[in-house]
Amino acid sequence: MLPNIKSQFMLDPKITHLNHGSFGATPKPIFDSLVDWQKKLEMNPTKHLGYDIYDFLKESRKSLANYIHCDKDDIAFMPNPSTALNTVIKSLDIKKDDEILSSNHEYGTLDRTWNYISKKTGSKYIQVPVVLPLESENDFIETFLKHITSKTKIIFLSQITSSTGLIFPIKKICEIAKQKNIISIIDGAHVPGHINLNIKKLNPDIYTGACHKWMCSPKGTAFLYVTKKLQNIIKPLVISWGYDSDLPSHSQFLDYLQWQGTNDISSYLTIPDTINFLEKNNWKSISQKCRELNIWARDEVNKLLKIESISDDKFLGQMSSIPIKSSDILEDQIEFYLKYNIQIPFFKWHEKEFLRISIQAYNTKEDIFKLLEALDDKYN
Ligand SMILES: Cc1ncc(COP(=O)(O)O)c(C=O)c1O
């Protein structure tokens, strides 16, 4: 798409990369920032990790908060959304018969975490079926809200789903949750750097996002946002020095979560450079072009395989999932890599198989032509 941008990524040029959604990819200037921070640490670990780290983290939180529109003290860095949501789910006071209302499009790790907690507490994890094709925001909202009962304690939804790659209209759901005194928890793993994220306007109680996916940060960079009113209920997964701190700061939330034992958290400190890179390269316009390429790619694949879209275009960003025949998803994914040099994920979602296209700044129509050739060879 943009050759000068493509050359900044370190991806193997022999491979067609159509899987940005799973693990992201980091451009050289952002990777260089990671190495600079790691060198800084190694030059003086005592100073860096012993005391400077809190000021460095503050600067990084400030930069991220400005980018996602919230207070810098309402976010803590986390290695990934799984850790962020496990921290939250294990902190909540969930009782027998409480209901957690969700959808049948959630990420498998989180289904498993909610099932674990439901078994432990006697609560119910309810997954509202969001039927495909998804065509109307109102239908989605109305169907979902019909399942709220007097026992609904939590609403848990992805803003962009993993297997089906759909953007859910969560703003209205967060508003209604607030009116009904239900805790809203949003899994925004795929959101930052992909679609606009304005936490203030969205106003969820709890939100997590990965920076290493669509913001292109180094791996292991994510955040947990918690509204001030709920921050005191959050407990760390790892009890460390910030718990019963000898030197408490103004925020228990930050004391509990910022230090989880010795680790290289240089990736968190690259956020100002990451955002600088995105802004310098006019990433909003790149995202828009990627979305257009994604919709074109989905239409071409659907035409080739004679299948229907799983949603209206308005639910799509830079990913699209396409139903596909596959008797062994992992075998097919590896075949696409070994035979056609294409990295594209195959998923199973409720007994149906899908492949998911991701389009990032380094992708071009050429990549989609290669995918179409491979699909034609395998399926036609
Ligand atoms: C919607 C969604 N939530 C949560 C996660 C978990 O992310 P991680 O494995 O980085 O914790 C993913 C990962 O792809 C995801 O797609």
Query: What mean pLDDT is reported for the chain?
Result: 97
How confident is the model at residue 279, as a pLDDT?
Answer: 98
Sorting pLDDT into bands at 50, 70 and 90, what band is 55? very high
Cβ(167) to ligand 1 under 6 A?
Answer: no
**Model pTM?**
0.98
Q: Which of 22, 109, 167, 358 to mutate to test the pocket of ligand 1 (most atoms within 8 A of CB)?
A: 109
Instruction: Tell me the mean pLDDT in the region 299-314.
Output: 97
Cβ partners under 8 Å of residue 327, min gap 6: none
What per-residue confidence (pLDDT) applies to 4? 82
Atom 16 of ligand 1, nearest CA residue:
162
Residue 13 tokens read as 């040029």
Q: pLDDT per residue over 203-246, tens digit each?
A: 999 999 999 999 999 999 999 999 999 999 999 999 999 999 99
Per-residue pLDDT for 3 more than 70? no
- Pocket flag, ligand 1, residue 206 (CB < 6 Å): no
Q: How far apart are CA 370 and CA 204, in angstroms?
A: 41
Phi-psi region of 181 (alpha: psi -120 to 50; beta: other; left: phi over 0): left
Q: Which residues of 225-251 are buried (b: 16+ CB within 10 A; e: fewer)?
A: bbbeebbeebebeeeeebeeeeeeeeb
Q: What is the pLDDT of residues 90-101, one digit of tens each?
A: 999 999 999 999
Q: Which atom of ligand 1 is nearest to the CA of 81?
A: 11
The verdict on the CB of residue 81 being under 6 Å from ligand 1 is yes
Degrees (nearest 5) of the Cα angle 293, 294, 296?
A: 65
Rounded to the nearest angstrom, the distance between the alpha carbon of 43 and the centre of ligand 1 is 34
185 pocket-lining for ligand 1 (C-beta < 6 Å)? no
The model's confidence at residue 138, banded by pLDDT at 50, 70 and 90, is very high
Nearest ligand 1 atom to the CA of 158 is 1
The beta-strand segments (E) located in 243-314 are none
**Residue 104 amino acid letter:** N
**pLDDT mean over 52-73:** 98
2, pLDDT greater than 80: no
Model confidence band, residue 127 (pLDDT cutoffs 50, 70, 90):
very high
Q: Is the N-terminal amide bond of 133 cis, ω within 30° of 0?
A: yes
d(CA 357, ligand 1 centre) in Å? 16
Q: Which atom of ligand 1 is nearest the CA belonging to 23?
A: 14
Distance 52 CA to ligand 1 centre (A): 30
Query: With a 6 A CB cut-off, is 347 part of the ligand 1 pocket?
Result: no
Enumerate domains of the chain plus CATH numbers.
Answer: 3-18+282-379 (3.90.1150.10), 31-278 (3.40.640.10)
Terminal Cα-to-Cα distance of the chain (whole angstroms): 28
